[in-house]
Amino acid sequence: MLSDKPQLFGTDGVRGVAGEYPLDRCTVLRIGRALGSFLGRAVSHRPLQVVLGEDTRESSVWMSRTLAAGLSSKGVKVAYAGVIPTPAVAYLARHHGFAAGVVVSASHNPYEDNGIKILSSSGTKLVEAQELEIERAIGAEELELEAPGSEPPEATLAVIPKLLDDYVEFLTDLVPSGMPLAKYRLVVDCANGAALRVAPRLLKELGIEAVILQAEPSGRNINLACGSLHPEAMAAETLSRAAHLGVAFDGDADRAIFATAEGSVVDGDHVLFALAPYFKSRGRLKANAVVGTLMSNLGMELALAEEGIGLRRTPVGDKYVLEEMQRSGINLGGEPSGHIIFSDISLAGDGIVTMLQLLILLAETGEPLSELVRGLKPFPQVIRNVPAAERVPLDSIPEVAQAVAEFERQFGKRGRVVVRYSGTQSLARVMVEAEDSEAIEHYVSQIAAAIEAAVSVKKSSGAKAQGLTPGTAWSRGGSESAQ
């Protein structure tokens, strides 16, 4: 029986170890051919053309060229942007009439990993039905290589500089004329990734002084002890350089984590809390609410409520955040990881757009970032990752259910438990938050151990486990708006 859920696509495209299935050369070629066939059926306007970009991983070069060969074999022309942020490809697809956008990147993952992100002509991630159609086309593709054991073909690609120029111009135009941004000093960590092609150039054009960190990619140092997953060095540099703001992007610049002038790290929850009341005060916050995820801190929800602003939660993944924003007419949403979506500007999470919006906020209010986030008191939150090559239904593990029930009796709506499978890695994630740090350490350890034991039992029994689909979670606790 054919699955009615995509198996290759996670919450952020097809991802894995570069060179291994499903990112071996033959499968990458099949993906390109399958996407070409899909576009040939789904897109009415001609000629068919996609915009293709990549990050700085050493594997991104051959993957882009192999994908392009597959697309070209189906009559699809490829406009190659070279190293460029994922949100730039989303912008170009939406505003320049491309049939689709394709990005070769594994975002915040280490260099050994890579991924293929496919974006619609509107710059959004594909819906599950489209992913499923492409997956079935991949399975139907038969490759005829020139000789047994030979490598799949690679296309010859030449970078079109105007594509990057157009994106930088779009970003520059977001800053109102006369906005006094040149008075700010920044520290910018480019994660040795795609941000290095845009952020330094943009800040220079805006007249903003910036110290640029981690902008010398080797192909193997993307996200290595730097970027949005490791913002500590950026935050320390922000303090030591007496900068007004620090920012750390991830490998494809679709997320950003910030630092205050005092060197304190500011995540996506803080960004939403700083911006939502500002938007509301200027009549720009639609539906008087923001969209977060199951991982958004309960402290942010309570702080927003004090401002008269609601929070709607979704499964983890910016695609789910955007779906809820569009469904509810909300124009601001995001994740603690630093994916922030301003749907009036772009339908993609864009770390560089977020940086600009924070700079505009600082300029218009005259307040430092530390003051704008002062009202947010995050609840202590512990996240534990459990290796899970096989996915046991989390709500079927008795020990997990018992621990969650005990937690609820103790904390009620002043605490939350989220257990879910990662949409991009072979992990189960356990998140517990409440005001009692010792208690949450106890419960997160208890639940993680129960999941690990259940997975081990399944492995030893040889049974095939059926798991939750990527992006879904079992969430308990918190206020009613968190459900």
| CB of 161 closer than 8 Å to CB of 197 | no
Residues 6 or more apart whose CB falls under 8 angstroms from that of 295 comprise 316, 335, 336, 337, 383, 418, 431
d(CA 461, CA 398): 18
Phi, psi dihedrals of residue 158, rounded to the nearest 5°:
-125, 130
Element (H, E) at 318: helix 318-328
Phi, psi of 430 (to 5 degrees): -115, 125
Do 243 and 186 contact (CB within 8 A), yes or no? yes
Q: Is the separation of the CB atoms in 50 and 88 below 8 Å?
A: no
Spatial distance between the Cα atoms of 287 and 344, rounded to a whole number of angstroms: 13
Residues serving a catalytic function are 107
**In 82-211, which ranges are continuous DSSP H helix?**
86-95, 128-140, 161-173, 199-205
* Both tokens assigned to 106: 């594994």
Listed residue (76, 31, 70) closest to 50, CA to CA: 76
Q: Helix, strand or coil for residue 16?
A: strand
Amino acid at 46: R
Element (H, E) at 323: helix 318-328
Residue 418 identity (one-letter amino acid): V
Q: CB of 77 within 8 A of CB of 99?
A: no
Q: Which residues, other chains included, contact 80 with Cβ-Cβ below 8 Å and sequence gap of 6+?
A: 52, 53, 64, 68, 157, 158, 159, 160
* Residue 452 backbone class (left: φ over 0; alpha: ψ -120 to 50; beta: rest): alpha
